[in-house]
Amino acid sequence: MILLELKNLGFLRSKKGRGGGYYLGRHPDSITIGQVIRVLDGPLAPVSCVSVTAYEHCKDCHDEISCGLHMVMQKVRDATASILDNTSLSDVLKQIETARNRNQEELMYYI
């Protein structure tokens, strides 16, 4: 189901038959972590009253404009979206490679 949804949205492609399977449908530079998370988990907002795509008025709040929790959660949403929407799959691969290289350097013993 998840793979099919990612395929329907163009993130993945598939090949049938022997040696088949799923592969990226677009270059890793053009797929952000934010896009994938939204497909898999829905909106990034921690509470619905700050969601851009799934806004719902908070039943416990009388005035969102002056609600301290609303203000904080909006900052959380914005910061989260900024990080995830500006991190591509390629960026993640580069971070993994850097971490592995750093780890190998730390394990190197010199005599």
What pLDDT digit, counting tens, does each position of 3-52 carry? 999 999 999 999 999 989 999 999 999 999 999 999 999 999 999 999 99
Local confidence band at 110 (pLDDT 50, 70, 90 cut-offs)? low
Listed by start position, the domains of the chain span: 2-107
Phi-psi domain of 88 (left: phi exceeds 0; alpha: psi -120 through 50; beta: other): beta
CATH assignment of 2-107?
A: 1.10.10.10
Report the chain's mean pLDDT, rounded to a whole number. Answer: 91
What would the 3-class secondary structure string for the chain be? CHHHHHHHCCCEEEECCCCCEEEECCCHHHCEHHHHHHHHHCCCCCCHHHCCCCCCCCCCCCCHHHCHHHHHHHHHHHHHHHHHHCCEHHHHHHHHHHHHHHHHHHHCCCC
Local confidence band at 100 (pLDDT 50, 70, 90 cut-offs)? confident
Q: Are 32 and 85 in contact (CB under 8 A)?
A: yes
